[in-house]
Structure formats: structure tokens, C-alpha cells
Amino acid sequence: MMRRIVAVLLITAAIPLWAAQPVHARHGMVVTRERHATQAGVQVLKNGGNAIDAAVAVGLALAVTHPSAGNLGGGGFMLIRLADGRTTFIDFREHAPQSASRNMYLDASGKATQDSVTGYRAAGVPGTVRGLEYANKKYGKKQWAELVHPAVELALQGFPVSYGLSRSLRASRGLAAFPESNRIFLKNGKFYEPGEMLVQPELARTLSRIEKLGSKDFYEGETARLLAKDMAAHGGHITEADMKMYAVHERTPLTGMYHGYTIVTAPPPSSGGVGVLQMLGMLDGTGYEKGGAGSASVVHYMTEAMRRFFADRSEHLGDPDFVKVPMTSLLDPKYIAGRRASIDPERATSSSQIKAAVFTGHETIETTHYTVADEAGNVVAVTYTLNGSFGSKVTAAGLGFLLNNEMDDFAAKPGEPNMYGLIQGEANAIAPGKTPLSAMTPTIVLKDGKPVLAVGSPGGPTIINTVLEVIVNVLDFGMDVQDAVNWPRFHHQWMPDELRIEPGYSPDTVALLEKRGYTVKRVNSQGEAAAIHWNNGWLEGAPDPRTEGTAEGH
């Protein structure tokens, strides 16, 4: 007990707790990255909308108030657990344009260029608007226009820039190189100070068309025409035909069991769901939790599970509509047992010794996640993104929204690391119309068929490990959901062979990890999380103290 108390004191000193306790409510809860978006979602719940409606309103509001990741010009995933017990997964991830080709980002010498990261050529066909509309029409209760209108008002009337947004804009790299981005988000180099109003008339006009005409305007109307025109003028690949062809995919979530709980999570083209299930499977039966949260032995076992999953990720995961993903083999209990048995209880395994199985038969990293629950029992976990911070840095002329740089989530050159240091294989090579592999991992945990925890995270490849850590903090270490979100995080992704840890671990713990053979690299922060916990009739919302995130219920 004393050891745990000391650990908590160390963590509290390193990471200020935004809230000592989670936010409690009886009827509904919204947890997001930004307060105006949170309020938009809560208002929808108060007006009789369900969790899906609120999630749609939040996504559109974040496109205005959280421009580094909230978006119209990106894409993402929505995991839904309906009150009647059904679950579904809406995939509105970006697609490669029809003119895309396997080697489109290699120079004459065969080296990968930066064109997949910055500029017009980096953008995939955005899916957010069609995805949110799809969710509303099929599973919502409110009219589309009612859910778009709060975003229209925020863009038209403006909102006060927060300290975090001001700092993010000032620190952004690349926005200044593109005239519209420089004008709208950087005030032509004068920068926004905290408290100044950010008014976005071009974005308001785009949102107003979407409010009146739905996604048809974005994909087949004036917005699509203007976007394609701007692309053509700057060497981009997205055409009006690409926009018109974009289709949402509704998929079956992955499910698995862990310590008596049902884990409902993201299927491919997310790599996150299979990662969470595989890593939980490796931990199950080891008794790793006996070491106590934050101990060197717990970090060791979890890191070894991470290392083994990311090796498999590099080789086998991609868009299931284009490649055969060996899901049955990756999640086979015998295979997972073999991976578990390969973990040395006392020593780190060198990543050079871990290979992806052979089966026969850095996303700074600006994604955002939000979680919504309503009184009826509907639960929604949404992760969506522009990929890098402020995406490709391009703001579409006359439209007011930033474009993604999601093409970098493909393997521009299979076998070589991308902007996050991830090594990816042929399964994730570029092809026309293909969806890039993602780490986004919206997840819902059930007990006896009822929701217990809903969580997700942004942060590129760290997403998967952040979600894993919040889950085990609640299920295995008995933390309340706010403590589980606040707890210092760590990350290993196979290559590079290094263990990244946040502040909060004692020097003694770090020394023990190094003695086990780890190369420890300290990082200031790892992603963020937005979680909801169900506890004896209460909804408990937990925003992340690493950000300006908020939770609000009613």
C-alpha cells in the first residue's frame, strides 16, 4: 500500500490533475477536447437527441473550434453500441484518389519525398461529412440541419481563442507557406492571442451549404467543385469524380473477452482493435497485474506485448477491401499463447529478435477523440483526424477548412518508416481508392451485456497503447476513470526499439527497466484520452488533463 501511495504522489507532482474526480451525471455525458464542442453535444442531448446525434454535432463543432484535428477535410471512425445491444462501426476514413499510384511519393532515386506530408498532394479524399450524415440518418433522431447549425454559428460569430489553441497555432509548422492557411489561422503572421475571437466566414459559408443541402453539396455540389478546382491549380490529385465516388463503409466491430469483460473495438482498416485484443490476450494469464500499477514488472509485461503486436502490424494489416488481413490467425488463442510464452519475465526482448508471424491459409500527432453516452443506453466513441497537426497545412481556397495529409498513413515505401517511425509493409501500399491503415481505436467495454467503459485516444501509433493502458487501469488496477486517464503513459512500437515514458515514473522504476534491457526515452506527453465509465447508475466523464478537454453531463 505504501508503494502505491508513493507512486501516486510522484505522479501527481508530475502531471497536474485537471480534475480530482470524474464529472458525474445521471442522464447523459459528453467528453471532448474542446469546451464549445462539448456544450454543443450536451445541448443536443438536452433537446431530445440521442448519443449519435450529439456525436455528429460535436464532430462538426470541432471542425470549427479545434482546427488542428477537428475537421471537414479528414476522416475517421465511429463505434456505436445501441441501447438494444447492437453494435456497429462506421468507417469514414479517407480514400486514396483514383490517380494515386504505388510509388507516387518516391523521387527519381527511389527515396520517399515529403509530398505525402505537406501540400496538396498529401490529401486523401475526405470522409467526415458523409460519415457523420450517414450516422445521423441511420441511427439518429434529430434532423441533420439542427446538428450542423451550432457549427455554423461558431464559425460565423466566432469564439474566443483558448490559451492552448493560441499556442498550437503559434507553434504550427508549415501553415504560413499556404496563403489561405496563413491568412485565416495565423493572421498573416500576427498570431491569435488568448481571448481574441476567431471568426471563419469562409468555413461558415461551407457549413451553411452543408446545413441546407447535406453531404450532397460537399461531394457533388459547390464545395466539391471549388475543392477540385483548387486541387487542379496546385498539383493535387482529388477530382470532382473522386469526391462523388466517396462511400462510407459500415463494418462489424471486433469483439473479444478479457477477465470477464467483453471488449468491442475497431476492425480493419484500423489496426488498433486487433492490437488491443491481441495485447490483452498476451497479458491474460500472466498475473502481470500483481506487480501493481506503475511498477517495473507491469511496464515490462505490457511493453513486451506492445512490441510483439507492432511487429505483426507492420506486416499484416491494411485495408480489408484490398488485402486479406489474417484476423483469425492474429487473434487465434494458440498463436497468442505462443507470443505470451516468448516473453521473458525478467528481460526485455530485442526488437531485432521479434519478427512478424508468417501465416499460411508518429498519426505531433493531431487526431482527436470524443465519447458520448445518453440516458437510453446508446454509446458512441468517435476518433477522427487530419493525420498530422493541421493536416497537409493547406486550407482549401474559398472553403475555409484544412485538408488532411492522410496519404502518409500509407506505406509510401514499404519497409521504411513513415513520419511516426512506423515500418509498414506491402499490405498498406498505396492503391487507387484504398483506405490507409489507421491506429484509431474507439473501444467500448461491456460487462454482462451492459456498458462499463468507453474510451479512445488521438496520438498516431500511441493511440493503441493509450487505449490499452486506460482499459487495464480500470479493469485490472481498480482505478476510477479519471485516475485511469491521468495515469502516466508509456509506449513501445517495435521499431525504433525504445520505450517512451511520460513523467511520473520514479528514477528507481526507470533504473529497473534499464537493468532489464530497455532503452528508455522520456517524453513530455503521450496523446490524450476521453472516457466515460458507468458506475452504480452514474455516468462518469473523464477528460484528459494533458489538454483543454472537458466533460459535461446532464
Q: Which of 541, 546, 547 is nearest to 41 (CA)?
A: 541
Q: Order of strands across the sheet with 550-553?
A: 249-251, 87-92, 75-81, 379-388, 365-373, 29-32, 550-553
Whole-angstrom Cα distance, residue 404 to residue 119? 9
Residue where the block lists cell 458506475: 535
Integer CA distances (angstroms), 77 to 39, 287, 378, 387, 457, in order: 22, 33, 16, 13, 12
Integer CA distances (angstroms), 467 to 236, 363, 481, 520, 552, in order: 35, 15, 12, 21, 21
Residue where the block lists cell 461491456: 446
Whole-angstrom Cα distance, residue 102 to residue 227? 24
Whole-angstrom Cα distance, residue 380 to residue 392? 28
Which grid cell sits at 40?
454543443
Cβ within 8 Å of residue 332, ≥6 positions away: none
Whole-angstrom Cα distance, residue 412 to residue 439? 17
Whole-angstrom Cα distance, residue 168 to residue 155? 19
Conformation bin of residue 525: beta by default, left when phi > 0, alpha when psi is -120 to 50? beta
Using DSSP, state whether 187 is helix, strand or coil. helix
The shares of helix, strand and coil residues in the chain, as percent rounded to the nearest 5, are 40, 20, 40
Q: Pick the catalytic residue: 367, 383, 441, 462? A: 367
Whole-angstrom Cα distance, residue 5 to residue 21? 17
Whole-angstrom Cα distance, residue 46 to residue 52? 13
Q: Is 550 among the catalytic positions?
A: no
Enzyme catalytic residues? 367
